[in-house]
Amino acid sequence: MRYSLLSVLGQALRGQRDWKPQWRDAAPKAEYDAVIVGGGGHGLATAYYLAKEHGITNVAVLEKSHVGSGNVGRNTTIVRSNYGLAGNIPFYERSMKLWEGLEQDINYNAMVSQRGVLNLYHSDAQRDAYARRGNAMRMAGIDAELLDREGVRGIVPFIDFDNARFPVKGGLLQRRGGTVRHDAVAWGYARAASDRGVDIVQNCAVTGIRRENGRVVGVETSRGFIRARKVALSVAGSTSLLASMADLRLPIESHVLQAFVSEGVKPFIDTVMTFGAGHFYVSQSDKGGLVFGGDIDGYNSYAQRGNLATIEDVMEGGMALWPGLGRLRLLRHWGGIMDMSMDGSPIIDRTPIDGLYLNAGWCYGGFKATPAAGFCFAHLIARDTSHEDAAAYRLGRFATGHLIDEKGMGAQPNLH
């Protein structure tokens, strides 16, 4: 049933009786043209665009748990395309444009809210670095504004401009940035892909990648062997584990990133704001909770939880910037497992094994990339060549030196 005000009102009168499962809970077939491992946002988006853009519908998305059980449902929901390096800029702008048309495209309200993303700066050097980034964005046709102190005051008058340890001097603003209701992205893509014939197979863990003569022929799963000409990995956090099934070692470490939500309060801040002198960023969900986060804990981890030192670090940043937060209460904190890559940027590429495709290394930026990652990964799987917007995301770049290192931190994943 198509979603609309009319169908919602109609079902209100009929006791919501006629709604159907939003996606088919498919049982796996013996064989597919392509199998996508990972039923998160990226995997589901990939399936959707394979069907929509390339007409490939004999596709299964294999999910070890349930749809959206990974990072798509654990992140802080921020979308933006305010990157500074040529390898990243067109990709994230592709993603932003897809966000802007997503809901009409997939007939699902994911609450794309372009409320602006504001990065604060606290020194001349930081201002110039933001100018450098903002100028690159503008050259690519992306909106970016460098605000002075008064400009920032107009948006977030309640922060501590003067007394903080690191006074706020201004900010870089991308008005088109904002937030999206994260779970809805997974559900919306699942529904749209399922409608186009994709099999979404839940509770199906991949346990092996079968190869013959150096070519992938399918995957072993907890629900039996599934034959496929093409196998595409989209399992952020667990990428190395899946890759090791094909004897691949990757430039990736798994790290935990914590996220936080406060109790719900009436509208308090209507932009996304990042502190430039501490690890703290914040926005407010439509339900009223402040959603915030900071830096990764910093050690390899597959445990979806973090530790107190990082939590305190984040709260200290919050209180330094915004002392009015003090009496607001933290409701929940949790952790997600990130693919931290060696240059802080993702990989969308073929692998040395024929028929095995890789979408990985998203660090903590995978959510905002969801539509474009699906779009470009589908292109790669369908055509065996990189989409031009993701052309820099090659696996071989670490050997050639074509790194995309926005922070200049080098080959140490926990610093990106």
Partner 1 sequence: MTTITLRDTALPRVAAPATFTGQDFRTATGGMIDRRRPLDFTFDGRRYSGFQGDTLASALLANGVRLVGRSFKYHRPRGILTAGSEEPNALVELRSGARREPNTRATVAELYEGLEASSQNRWPSLKYDALSVNALAAPVFAAGFYYKTFMWPAALWEKLYEPMIRRAAGLGRAAHAPDPDTYDKAFAFCDVLVIGAGPAGLAAALAAGRSGARVILVDEDHRMGGRLLADRREIAGRSGADWVADALAELESMPEVRILPRTTLFGVYDHGAYGAVERVGDHLAVPPAHAPRQRMWRITARQAILGAGAIERPHVFGGNDRPGVMLAGAVRTYLNRYGVLPGRNVAVFTSGDDGWRTVADVVAAGGQVAAVIDSRASVPADLRRAAEAAGAQVICDGYVTGTKGHLGLEAIEVVDTYGSRQTIACDCLAMANGWNPIVHLDSHLSRRPVWDEAIHAFVPGALPSGMVAVGAAGGAFTLASCLETGGRAGAEAASACGFAGAAPEIPKTDPESIAHTPLWRVPVSKGKAFVDFQNDVAASDVELAHREGFRAVELLKRYTTLGMATDQGKTSNLAGLGIMAELTGQPVASVGTTMFRPPFTPVAIGAFAGHHRGKDFRATRHVPSHAWCEEQGAVFVETGLWLRPAYFPQAGENDWLETVNREVNTVRAHVGVCDVTTLGKIDIQGQDALALIERVCANPFGTLPVGKARYAVLLREDGFVLDDGTIARLGESHFVMTASTANAGKVMQHLEFCHQWLWPELDVQMVSVSEQWAQYAVAGPRARDTLLGIVDPGFDLSNEAFPFLACADVTVGGGIPARLFRISFSGELAYELAVPAAYGDAAWRAVMAAGSAHGITAYGSEALSVMRIEKGHAAGAEINGQTTARDIGLGGMLAKKKDYIGRLMKERPALVDPERPILVGFRPVDRSQRLRAGARFLAIGAAPSLAADEGTMTSVAYSPSLGHWIGLGLIRRGPERHGTRVRAYDPVRDGDIEVEICSPVFVDPKEEKLRV
Partner 2 sequence: MRIRCPHCGPRDNGEFSYLGDAAPIRPDGMEAQPVAMHDYVYLRDNPAGPHRELWYHGAGCRSWLVVDRDTRTHEITGVSSARDVALSRRTGEVA
Is residue 238 part of the contact set for partner 2 (CB under 8 A)?
A: yes
Chain positions 309 to 368 lying near partner 2, rule: CB under 8 A, are 309, 342
Q: Map residues 396-415 to x or -, x wherever contact with partner 2 holds by CB under 8 A.
A: --xx-----------xxxx-
Residue 331 touching partner 1 (CB under 8 A): yes
Instruction: Encode 88-102: b = buried (16+ Cβ within 10 Å), e = exposed.
Output: bbbbbbbbbbbbeeb
Chain positions 48 to 67 lying near partner 1, rule: CB under 8 A, are: 65-67
Cβ distance 212 to 129 under 8 Å?
A: no
Buried b / exposed e along 219-257 (16+ C-beta atoms within 10 A): bebeeebbebbbbbbbbbbbbbebbebbebebbbbbbbb
Identify which of 141, 119, 138 has the alpha carbon closest to the alpha carbon of residue 130: 119
- Interface mask toward partner 1 for 105-144; x: CB under 8 A: --xxxxxxxxx------xx-x-xxxxxxxxxx-xxx---x
Q: Is 73 in the site for partner 1 (CB under 8 A)?
A: yes
Does the protein bind partner 1 through residue 154 (CB under 8 A)? no
Instruction: Indicate which of partner 2, partner 1, none lies near residue 111 (CB less than 5 to 8 Å, by partner kind).
Output: partner 1
Among 31, 183, 195, 220, binds partner 1 (CB under 8 A): 183
The backbone torsions φ and ψ at residue 138, rounded to the nearest 5 degrees and listed phi first, read -65, -35
Question: Under the criterion CB under 8 A, does residue 414 sit at the interface with partner 1?
Answer: no
Q: How far is the CB of 155 from partner 2 (least distance, A)?
A: 33
Between residue 336 and residue 395, which ones bind partner 1 under the rule CB under 8 A?
none
| Distance between CA atoms of residues 219 and 234, nearest Å | 14
Span from 100-108, 156-164, 302-310, 322-330 in contact with partner 2 (CB under 8 A): 302-310
Q: Is 396 exposed, middle or buried (0-12, 13-18, 19+ CB in 10 A)?
A: exposed
Paired tokens of 363: 């660090």
Q: Which of residues 185-224 bind partner 1 (CB under 8 A)?
A: 187-188, 202
- Give which of partner 2, partner 1, none residue 103 binds (C-beta under 5 to 8 Å, depending on kind): partner 1
- Nearer to partner 1 among residue 252 and residue 378 (C-beta): 252
Dihedral of alpha carbons 390, 395, 399, 404, sign = positive
Alpha carbon separation from 187 to 59, 65, 103 (Å, rounded)? 17, 14, 12
Number of residues that bind partner 2 (CB under 8 A): 25
- Contact footprint for partner 2 (CB under 8 A): 238, 240-241, 244, 249-254, 298-303, 307, 309, 342, 398-399, 411-414
